[in-house]
Structure 1
């Protein structure tokens, strides 16, 4: 008889295309995933994955097992739910660190209120998640998603900065400015490419670890910064300016999901999700 747990690990490896990602998703060590797959291969007398430096690729037998295993795991979940209707369903949520989660508070509330048996917990990586609020650029193909918001970037300076009299700036305005670096920015390379095309060099005076800190550093007079619009706040000491570009650089924030309980999957498909616009 094939046990349920190895099938769960096999399905995770199949969907992630990586032993490492599957281990992260299942909160176990890589050798445990490898051992589970090997035990299935020995039990069934087949090879389930072709292994290479690029990861793992399912064989024909692996594809067949995946279809059967997902059906079996779903039936097992339904069986448990039928006899333990009050059992909590734990959902793992990933929130990208540089996203202003306060803008999406109503979404979190809606998810939690969909069912009293949903227990939402935060995970460290998107590989571990069933739900994610994330930049679309960082999302893997295993997820479906709903677009929440598209935002541009603005330059933030102190109110006494020479540029503070402007409402709109160009990249040429960046010359000779000292910046606080935002190393986690998904569009950093796009900005750097434009700067290189215009032969504008950037001087960095330090790095931030999140966008609230970066504004504090600007307020202290340690430099200027480029931040997403969602982090703009009412502050008498700071000035925010739009950046004039021929093709605006934006990021798209999405609500991503996979492998959800039926009640929440229905909500995902039917609800028009919106973000909080209050500043």
Structure 2
């Protein structure tokens, strides 16, 4: 098998024109350099140099090898630099999952870290809490923004609460509810509702229904989904009123948000679930530090 050391010797001799000059550049004695060139010729089965009193000139095979070896040595240096980048946290891909509520926080992280270190990449996965937790447990994600409460998780995963949301009604500005300073469950029982619902497990959807039941009311559920985007679309089309936990800074433009005091005990808490990075300099460590900087 070709050794990069021998190719480096060979290219240096071609560039310097003699063994003596190349030995000076390489800071080695001439005998081991000459022996290395001989080993390379024997390994490849071709003559690589014309040797004369004026120096060493590459043969046709030598010129071809010089081109190929030069490219290979450059790639070798690039690989070494890239691996050093992984070691010092300047390179890598962070696999982040998030519930809909966490999207603004994740996009802010990507912009900040991407500007600071362009060689760091991000792979994003949106889903509900249960699905993202499963991906973390299967090592298909490095970290995820999820909703609490969390029913279960692998013991090697760490949990960091970030921010508590408020349960609000999101409605179109033309909706009669938009004129109210706050909304009651009785008012909501009379309009079509769109709710967040986990694909599996007990969550906001079930807790909201429990609140209506305790109040002796039956809500009209027009639609449920694990993604906020369809709920916002239904609100903008005046088809439904969305009832969901949101963070204060996450209200979409063109939407009116009103508190629902009767659901204060139902609101979700956004949390960061992650597997501790091996290195304090890793891209994952930087991402976790950014996402957790406003922890509750």
- Scaled to the shorter chain, the TM-score interval is 0.5 to 0.7
The question of whether the paired residues in 2 share the 8 Å contact of 1:167 and 1:241 is answered with yes
Aligned partner of 1:130 in structure 2 is 142
CA distance, structure 1, for counterparts of residue 245 and residue 232 of structure 2: 12
Shift of 1:154: 0.6
Aligned CA distance change for structure 1 residues 269 and 164 (closer, same or farther; 3 Å): closer
Aligned CA distance change for structure 1 residues 115 and 83 (closer, same or farther; 3 Å): closer
The question of whether the paired residues in 1 share the 8 Å contact of 2:97 and 2:143 is answered with yes
1:161 pairs with 175, 188, 195, which one? 175
CA distance, structure 1, for counterparts of residue 273 and residue 209 of structure 2: 28
Q: Aligned-pair RMSD on alpha carbons?
A: 3.4
CA distance, structure 2, for counterparts of residue 82 and residue 219 of structure 1: 51
1:171 pairs with 171, 185, 201, which one? 185
Aligned partner of 1:93 in structure 2 is 96
Aligned CA distance change for structure 1 residues 154 and 120 (closer, same or farther; 3 Å): same
Larger radius of gyration: 2
Shift of 1:94: 1.5
Aligned CA distance change for structure 1 residues 168 and 177 (closer, same or farther; 3 Å): same
2:164 pairs with 135, 144, 150, which one? 150
Aligned CA distance change for structure 1 residues 144 and 114 (closer, same or farther; 3 Å): farther
Aligned partner of 1:120 in structure 2 is 122
Match status 1:203 vs 2:217: no
Normalised TM-score (structure 1)? 0.57
Shift of 1:274: 2.9
Shift of 1:100: 4.3
Q: Name stretches of at least 5 consecutive residues in structure 2 with no aligned partner.
A: 1-79, 127-131
Aligned partner of 1:192 in structure 2 is 209
Aligned CA distance change for structure 1 residues 143 and 209 (closer, same or farther; 3 Å): closer
User: Aligned residues, how many?
Assistant: 193
Normalised TM-score (structure 2)? 0.54
CA distance, structure 1, for counterparts of residue 95 and residue 190 of structure 2: 45
Q: Name stretches of at least 5 consecutive residues in structure 1 with no aligned partner.
A: 1-80
2:251 pairs with 232, 244, 256, which one? 232
Aligned CA distance change for structure 1 residues 213 and 268 (closer, same or farther; 3 Å): closer
Query: Which stretch shows the higher mean deviation, 250-259 or 187-196?
Result: 250-259
1:102 pairs with 101, 104, 121, which one? 104
The question of whether the paired residues in 2 share the 8 Å contact of 1:156 and 1:239 is answered with yes
